[in-house]
Structure 1
């Protein structure tokens, strides 16, 4: 593997003039304003970005200014299998086929633009785990961060090891969403299959293994495992000593700036335009979302809400002390990513709308907007998939308290939306010591951006202005911008325009009301969750 330098072919002086003089074209797609460019006006080179999320695989092209190229896009939906026992699994080989079809689709639509593709970048949902045999064949399902079956093992790890010390070294707490507890659970629950595993890898590594016959894992993806020493950027030996695996069963570590070239014959023949272009290692979708939405320093805080939610900030170097209840991941060797993630977000909205048999989202917005803030008398703990930040109670389950004969389905939905916002506020409060006095909050993610009501709720709950990102595909764009930086076409990802749109302003009266509601939610949490944490 080697670093690439394309700056001699496309000098940065040309980029500066483009940034200063180019009129950035904007369009409205599915109700969302996004910075894009028509193919004829795209500034080369182009980056093919693959965004592998928890509900779909997406592929699209970005130009040198980080604008999505209109037209060549592909999307393949898939489902994560869940069970009442807490399983959250996917078929890794079926996922690969969807990824390959997305690449097929974009290249077929791109036509002559394929000659301008300088690299392939990708991001994936993280904290996923897959076991392969010595030949690289998958012999376990792909388990995701939402799998809660390892809750008892997380409890045992807390009893055996100093969790505060591990949190300081790895940036992660003991929780079923991370690999330490999950690996111990797999060794106990599926011992025969566990013994057959030669290597434990992530989905991004599995993609690379098929394409190139070998693989490494980026510091970014590795930091989401709970096994990486975040300061030394090596696998944590002390923690591995307490687990049923060896370090040589994990992939070598690498940085996001170190690509591979030379596709294996089946793929080189399938995609001749990509045969020798650099393919950069996958990074965590959360890190990519920060970069893609312009949140590349502590001055801008990224608030993302898709299926799940998170608040994150990019800082240079290692964080001296990770705030209690939060995590600290990596963007790359140079940049850290402290923040907190919720297992709840758009999934709460989707579950409530389906279960309560409510109307389509567009029809619901006026009814939701007509309700007073916290005017329903309900207190909701929105833990449909357990809790991550800030309490990390993986065993927690959702609760709706205060229902009466007068409660309406729309009120229940609004209470759920507010409840998610309250959990985000708790994370934001803990993150404040790492932020300047008045950071800008930037919102992205389809669940949030498609609901102005929810955006206003979050704004009022935080009590801070919230700017809307105009980037529809923030994670894919972030992966593309990091590739441009690695190619030498950007000296820093901060050079790319952030594409910020409407700013929502908080209502002080609503904020005060919501702070009281947060206290009420916390009191219920203490009664039902915290006092019963295993």
Structure 2
């Protein structure tokens, strides 16, 4: 049995077919780039256009004969997006993505009664990144009369499947989920103004979906395939990087950047303590993901290519090689503003120490080094949640594209051991492993500065035993 893994990201839509051991099939990859609409703090996607790209990927894979042995479909999808729908399921506006910094809390609303308890319970804050602030803001902007709200993942899959409930992983990214009880949190929903029927149904642990009949006729190879509950893109990346236990953190740099680690936490039991500056989401019913994220990552390259005439390919690699790892101009890379819990708006990036001799490569190197420093500082707080320093695995498309950036991370994160997962499709691969219930599948890792490759250790079982925590919820 093969697995079709869909990666529903903010910069592209991908479809990848893997075998029963989660190894990609040669040539079985379809990809479509998507264009985000940016400006004045806004960062939106066109839902209908996005769905069309997904359909094109499925058509391409079907035409290539890659879907004939697919028995299961897995999905990695972006967290935090929200789309208001009308009574007939029609979009009432664009998709609000994680990068959008415009939402503000309603005037005169005080927020959570106990902010610390709210943070521990939902893993989030009363912040523009989450639906507790986003839903009231969308209503105030007059997007019509929404019948309900969904994420981009639920919108896309809802168009293809007979039903598309929201997985606990995707729900945790809304900021409205009680991470222990795995139900919508009453206080968070009250802040969001979300009434009965306005939020998606939550998928049960063993949920399986099926294509609608009209789509089964279009892709008959998938007619009998079982669709598994989607995994948030950050969680899928951790799995794809082989970072599925508390002793190993993933640093992922794709369009954006993040540092995260997975901990066992079966549903219904108490959660590990959560430091004030870190968020926490769900991987599945048995694991949580703790970390922090940044609005700048590979998008720094896109900006520099567009605005600074940055060299590309081998020319860029050669120019960066002349700069010491972690070097470049002094720079704050927060061009897109802060991710939660920070509140700096878009346009907060800065450059310092420029001269007439400064070139584009020194500027982008400084921005890349700035991301390294942000992650190095926050990794210290992340390590406070586990016993001692962790090993770090780098991954993501931007990491695959730049050896200099990998070396800069190794220098910034020293003396920790830093390794690299060279597969650029870590999200799709991670989603496939989650669908198999095999978070422990070994992945290929490369030591930074060396050429040897090793298999990751596999300390985590596919399902953490429910007796692991010492105490139930009171």
TM-score scaled by structure 1?
A: 0.79
2:168 matched residue in structure 1 = 219
Segment drifting more, 232-241 vs 154-163: 154-163
Candidates 363, 388, 400, aligned match of 1:412: 363
1 CA distance for matches of 2:110 and 2:425?
Answer: 38
8 A Cα contact 1:292 1:474, kept in partner: yes
1:472 matched residue in structure 2 = 424
- Supply the RMSD in Å over aligned alpha carbons: 2.1
2:404 matched residue in structure 1 = 453
8 A Cα contact 1:220 1:256, kept in partner: no
Q: CA shift at 1:394, angstroms?
A: 4.1
Write out per-residue CA displacement over residues 353-402 of structure 1, whole angstroms, 9 at most, x where no aligned residue. 332112114311222221235655x4311111111256343466111123
Write out per-residue CA displacement over residues 261-294 of structure 1, whole angstroms, 9 at most, x where no aligned residue. 3x22210110112112211122211111111121
Name the structure with the higher helix share.
1
1:322 matched residue in structure 2 = 274
Write out per-residue CA displacement over residues 428-460 of structure 1, whole angstroms, 9 at most, x where no aligned residue. 111002234342211111111211111011111
8 A Cα contact 1:290 1:296, kept in partner: yes
Number of residue pairs aligned between Structure 1 and Structure 2: 445
Write out per-residue CA displacement over residues 15-48 of structure 1, whole angstroms, 9 at most, x where no aligned residue. xxxxxxxxxxxxxxxxxxxxxxxxxxxxxx1101
Q: Structure 1 stretches of 5 or more lacking a match? A: 1-44, 486-491, 506-534
2 CA distance for matches of 1:292 and 1:449?
Answer: 14
- Structure (1 or 2) with the larger CA radius of gyration: 1
Write out per-residue CA displacement over residues 139-176 of structure 1, whole angstroms, 9 at most, x where no aligned residue. 221110111111x3289766665432321111012332
2 CA distance for matches of 1:257 and 1:156?
Answer: 42
8 A Cα contact 2:326 2:372, kept in partner: no
8 A Cα contact 2:5 2:75, kept in partner: yes
1:149 matched residue in structure 2 = 102
Q: CA shift at 1:256, angstroms?
A: 5.9
Q: Structure 2 stretches of 5 or more lacking a match? A: 451-474
Candidates 421, 424, 431, aligned match of 2:372: 421
1 CA distance for matches of 2:106 and 2:359?
Answer: 38
Q: Does 1:493 align with 2:446?
A: no
Equivalences for residues 367-446 of structure 1 within 5 A: 367-372=319-324, 378-388=329-339, 391-394=342-345, 397-446=348-397
1 CA distance for matches of 2:340 and 2:421?
Answer: 24
Candidates 101, 123, 130, aligned match of 2:56: 101
Candidates 145, 161, 164, aligned match of 2:116: 164
Q: CA shift at 1:338, angstroms?
A: 0.4
Q: Does 1:349 align with 2:301?
A: yes
2 CA distance for matches of 1:157 and 1:167?
Answer: 18
2 CA distance for matches of 1:389 and 1:182?
Answer: 13
8 A Cα contact 1:299 1:439, kept in partner: yes
8 A Cα contact 1:466 1:503, kept in partner: yes
2 CA distance for matches of 1:106 and 1:457?
Answer: 37
1 CA distance for matches of 2:117 and 2:344?
Answer: 19
8 A Cα contact 2:170 2:231, kept in partner: yes
Cα distance change on mapping 1:49 and 1:383 into 2, 3 Å? same
